[in-house]
Structure 1
Amino acid sequence: MNKFTNIVIAGLGSLALVGCAGTGLESAKDQTPSGSEFSKNLYDGYLGLSEGEYAEYDFADSDVFAQKASLASEGSAVTPDEISDRDLPEDKVSVLSSSRERLMAAMAAGAASKSPQNAATAQVMFDCWMQEQEENRQPDDIAACQAAFSDAIAKAEADLDEPKAVAAAPEPAPEPATKSWVLYFGFDSANLSDGEASKIDEIVKYAKSSDAKVSLTGHTDRAGADDYNEMLSSERTKAVAKAIGDQGLGIDEVKQVSLGENDPAVATVDDVKEPLNRRVVVKVSNN
């Protein structure tokens, strides 16, 4: 349960904390979001979290998310949870702290205006990750929130790196830049989930439109033996290559590299099951 449920949240203006009754959701639903595109996307995201927690009878967290949705609907400033707001497992504080710093850096660089949907999704999914990690009961839900945050923040950061050009006289289309995707896997699995498999269409479409080269780099977390993890990372790249081939892209043209537990996205000690390290990085480049 969020620590905010026991106190009045500072800065909520006229909105008082509803408490653990689960009554905040209906109030939030009745509001019509206004303000920026970012605020409207925050409203939708937090409302969805509130509905999900309500369905699981976690009325306290449902109310917390409902209040954030209500604030966002008014265009008020809504910030992601502070690390101290949740009673987190000690071994998860570091990765959550660095992820929040990454999110706040993107916001400071203008992500809310330059990439409103991705920035809002990143913030909502960070709070989702925090809430699920505090409960620490549903590893699949924790991994899903964490993966959704990572995907959204990467897209927001990419939009910051590639500002949209202002309207001008038509110019020749630039050569396509290198783009990358990260596909995540379950523990000890080389099977693509439906959510991750949906990225294949986007990858193949981009590769075909730019006549680009595709490379796959497979990774695992540090749970298990080194040789097994090298084999598992290879199976993951093969699974992605097959999915790409099934969409009409020649597998022979796809470069595959398997790194096992080397080069982790999140540094851990040995034998740690870290969802963000169980991945295949897909890069599409015309270079």
Structure 2
Amino acid sequence: MFTKMIGATKLAVAATAMLGLSACAGFQLDNAKGLTPSGDAFSAGLYKEYLVLAEMEFAEGDYMDSDTFAARAIASANGKPPAPEELASRDIPAAAQGGLAEARRKLMEALDGGARTAKPDAAARAQASFDCWMQEQEENFQPADIKWCKDRFDAAMAQLGTPAPAAAPKPSITFANFTVYFDFDKSTLTAQTQSTLIDAANAADDMAATNIEVSGYADRSGSEAYNMALSQRRADAVAKELTTLIGAKAPAMKRLAFGESQNKVVTPDGVKEAKNRRVKIEIRK
């Protein structure tokens, strides 16, 4: 490429090509120049990228590769973009085959994942740079040129990003539970309680719930009888609001009252405890 110095062997080959094959090689570039791409943005991008590579190889006397890239430019301009080169199409050194194979796999994954449409310019640059890398790796005597192609490929692939994995199906939810808390000696719903009940109603709707159990509790600051009645009022308030939020699809709700028994936090009698002033909601499909 830019830094290529043609060695004796390649110079001899180039000279032979000029003398014996001038009628066959090196003239696709003229056919490729000045075309108006008729395909999509990806095809147009490939045309420009391959045309640049064809011109660079022609300038260095590598007429065979110039023709290869020019032919790819022409196909792209005609709306028939070629696929990235197969590894088998070139004589790649064994030590480089693994890296190129993995690079092509990632490239195809990106292209088949929608990159041609989502980011056509970067996708075209990635493909052409991969083919550039293949061509330079086959020659395998200009490390700087190999690096130039590879770096350009890596930069384009970074622009494409990693294709997002397919979304996993949502697991079937058959149970959900929520807890709401009350102020001391109150059964009225707070703003925070309302927010939790909205979440509970949404969960019931999402799973098409067939059963909802609402259990009320109280702390031990009053008498057992008073706390039993208070826990019932709390359960009733929650059940009523849930029924309103869920609407016509609301299933029958089982209301339970446990008073000051089954406290979440064990306390001596007469102790106020916020975590015991609660209603537990269990939703089942």
**Between Structure 1 and Structure 2, whose CA radius of gyration is higher?**
2
